[in-house]
Structure 1
Amino acid sequence: PLDVHLMLSNPENYIEKFAAAGAHIISVHIEAAPHIHRVIQQIKAAGCKAGVVLNPGTPASVLDAILGDVDLVLQMTVNPGFGGQSFIDSTIENMRYLDNWRRENNGGYVIEVDGGVNAETAEKCKQAGVDVLVAGSYFFGADDKVACVQGLKK
């Protein structure tokens, strides 16, 4: 599936274009979408799964009103903008919150993390209830990419 993470202002202006280009999942930052309910509905009306993204400094509790409506929650574990940053450990609390909410409310969303993912941080994320890991610099910087992926899967 083509998972599109819109890291831009006014994401509602781009939903239809990305859906038409073949996106299966479209995720938008809660911080960039003041009318997040409407944007989630717009994504679903375009035939895509809807995701919401949290920056490291945003508490997961701001999503309570929409967690029952989304298919994916992406927790940024670095500040968005460029690769190679260090994992921000305080984001693990958000991961635990999202996992607990999902279990307590029979939520159907997937929890994904992006930023600073390596073998050590992947284990922390998995223990916090994360389902999907995005490993950019760790993967592309590895000499043995097969071993890198196998290590992350463990």
Structure 2
Amino acid sequence: MSTRPFQSFLHSPELVRLAKQAAEQRQLEKLWRSALPAGFAGLSEAVGIEGECLTVSTRSAAVASKLRQMEARLVLQLNDKGLKINAIRCRIQVERHTHEKIKPPKNLNISPKALATIQAAAEQLPPSPLREALDALVAKRIRNPASKD
């Protein structure tokens, strides 16, 4: 099997551009975190720079308000570290409640016909990790038909 198509994908202009953007974003976030007081590190994230304005995402209006109070000092610190900005804009990004993130469980039951088909397919495979996994799945479902993997 040739790795040539994969290698050409790794060196594609789009992937190179995305890798560069990701590296710039990581560097921006690193600079932002280094300028913040210790208690604020996990409460905000650097989003990007538009012109000479750094956009920051915060978790609450209270954090945004405190960052606005520290804006002059933060701008000076970031300028000293090589980031040429003259303002910081806070954007409040409220997190969703945990009950909104939970998805209902999927119905993972396997019908007897499907289980028999899986078992037949596993028996035709040579000894391999795939065959072992299919055998284990079938054995588990036969022991406990309502189990979820």
TM-score, normalised to structure 2, is: 0.25
User: As a proportion of its length, which structure holds more strand?
Assistant: 1
User: As a proportion of its length, which structure holds more helix?
Assistant: 2
TM-score, normalised to structure 1, is: 0.25
> Whose radius of gyration is greater, 1 or 2?
2
